[in-house]
Amino acid sequence: MSQIQIETNPSYPVIIEKGLLNILGKSIKPFLKGKLLIITDENVDSFYGRVIAEQMNENNIEWDKYIIVPGEESKSLEVYGRILEYMAAHNFHRNDTVLAFGGGVVGDLSGFTAASFLRGIDYIQVPTTLLAAVDSSVGGKTAVNLKEGKNLVGAFKQPKAVLCDPDLFATMKEERFLDGVAESIKYGILRDEELFSEFETPLTQRDARLSNIIERCVKHKAEVVKKDEMEKGERQFLNLGHTIGHAIEKASGYEVSHGHAVAMGMGMMARACEKIGVLKKDNRERILKVLEKNGLPTKTSYSTEDLFGKVYKDKKCSSDKITIIEIERIGKCRLHKILIEDFREYIEKGRV
Enzyme catalytic residues: 119, 141, 183, 221, 231, 235, 239, 242, 246, 258
User: 171-195: string of b/e by CB count within 10 Å (b at 16+)?
Assistant: ebeeebbbbbbbbbbbbbbbbbeeb
Query: Do the beta carbons of residue 135 and residue 217 sit within 8 Å?
Result: yes
Q: How many CB atoms lie within 10 A of CB 243?
A: 25
Give the span between the Cα atoms of 345 and 104, in whole angstroms: 31
| Whole-number Cα distances in Å, 183 to 35, 134, 239, 303, 349 | 34, 7, 10, 24, 23
Give the span between the Cα atoms of 144 and 314, in whole angstroms: 14
Q: Under 8 Å CB-to-CB from 131, ≥6 apart: which residues?
A: 103, 104, 176, 179, 180, 182, 183, 258, 259
Give the span between the Cα atoms of 180 and 170, in whole angstroms: 13
Instruction: Provide the H-helix boundaries in 4-141.
Output: 24-28, 42-58, 77-89, 104-116, 130-131
Give the span between the Cα atoms of 241 and 34, in whole angstroms: 40
Closest CA to 130 of 100, 98, 156, 167: 167
Give the span between the Cα atoms of 213 and 186, in whole angstroms: 12
| Whole-number Cα distances in Å, 156 to 54, 84, 124, 318 | 32, 18, 14, 19
